[in-house]
């Protein structure tokens, strides 16, 4: 049952870096520069959210032009978005929640899905669908590291990529937990650096994040 998720290829991506940058890009060109800068700092996997109109072109461009990067898609809310993100070349797909229709879309695809959950019932539903590797979203707002610590004995099989409200200030609290494989966050790609074209700052922030240790 657990194989429903394609856990191994997803884990291979999520365990190679402690932080997955979560980005909303203005253009495919910006995404290519950003993916290069992040990979240079040691964060090859990048979640490009479908929150901007440029996202699918950005995923396509990063997949084609930045071989050292691993382009993933985020903010997938329905099967049509899943299909479009997979077709664009996403190597992994992230959803803020866990719905039957998105799980079905993933089961028809080779691209692994990281679905989201933030309550005991959502975790149980994910387990019923064969999913044990989940996004915890929005992490800080939904109970933070204390939530993940409390549910660990109840859901020993589930491991998380917490995302939402994580920064250099609290990332250590999450990465210290045995049920956390990595975290997602936007702090490594600050908006002001992107609009200024300051990709050196992105590489520096990525290098600092890549040096963090997950358990
Ligand atoms: O669109 C999604 O699917 C998201 O994951 C929403 C946010 O982009 C992340 O939660 C990152 O949040 P911050 O690191 O707090 O900026």
Annotated active-site residue 135? The verdict is yes
Residue nearest atom 4 of ligand 1, based on CA coordinates = 75
Domain that residue 68 falls in: 2-206
Per-residue pLDDT band for 193 (boundaries 50, 70, 90) equals: very high
Residue 102 contacts residue 79 (beta carbons within 8 Å)? yes
Instruction: Tell me the CA–centroid distance for residue 201 and ligand 1, in Å.
Output: 20
Q: What pLDDT is stored for residue 44 in this prediction?
A: 98
Q: How many domains, in total, are found in the chain?
A: 1
CATH number for 196 = 3.20.20.70
213 found inside a domain: no
Summarize pLDDT for 125-184 with one digit per residue, the tens.
999 999 999 999 999 999 999 999 999 999 999 999 999 999 999 999 999 999 999 999
Instruction: Give me the mean pLDDT over the 116-122 stretch.
Output: 97
Q: Is the pLDDT of residue 76 over 60?
A: yes
Instruction: Tell me the CA–centroid distance for residue 163 and ligand 1, in Å.
Output: 6
Q: Is the pLDDT of residue 22 over 50?
A: yes
Tell me if ipTM is over 0.90: yes
In whole angstroms, give the CA distance from residue 180 to residue 194: 29
215 found inside a domain: no
H helix runs in the chain, sequence order: 7-14, 28-40, 55-65, 79-87, 100-107, 120-128, 144-151, 171-175, 191-195, 199-210
């Amino acid at each position: 049952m657990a194989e429903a998720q394609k856990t191994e290829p997803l884990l291979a991506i999520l365990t190679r870096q402690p932080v997955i940058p979560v980005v909303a890009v203005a253009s495919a060109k910006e995404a290519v520069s950003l993916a290069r800068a992040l990979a240079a700092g040691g964060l090859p996997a990048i979640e490009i959210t479908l929150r901007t109109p440029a996202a699918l072109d950005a995923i396509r461009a990063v997949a084609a032009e930045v071989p050292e990067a691993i382009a993933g898609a985020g903010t997938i809310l329905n099967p049509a978005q899943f299909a479009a993100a997979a077709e664009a070349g996403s190597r992994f797909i992230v959803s803020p929640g866990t719905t039957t229709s998105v799980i079905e879309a993933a089961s028809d695809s080779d691209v692994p899905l990281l679905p989201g959950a933030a309550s005991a019932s959502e975790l149980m539903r994910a387990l019923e669908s064969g999913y044990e590797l989940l996004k915890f979203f929005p992490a800080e707002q939904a109970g933070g590291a204390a939530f993940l610590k409390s549910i660990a004995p109840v859901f020993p099989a589930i491991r998380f990529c917490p995302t939402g409200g994580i920064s250099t200030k609290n990332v250590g609290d999450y990465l210290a937990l045995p049920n956390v494989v990595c975290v997602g966050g936007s702090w490594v790609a600050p908006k002001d650096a992107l609009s200024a074209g300051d990709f050196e700052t992105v590489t520096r922030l990525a290098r600092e994040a890549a040096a963090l240790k997950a358990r």
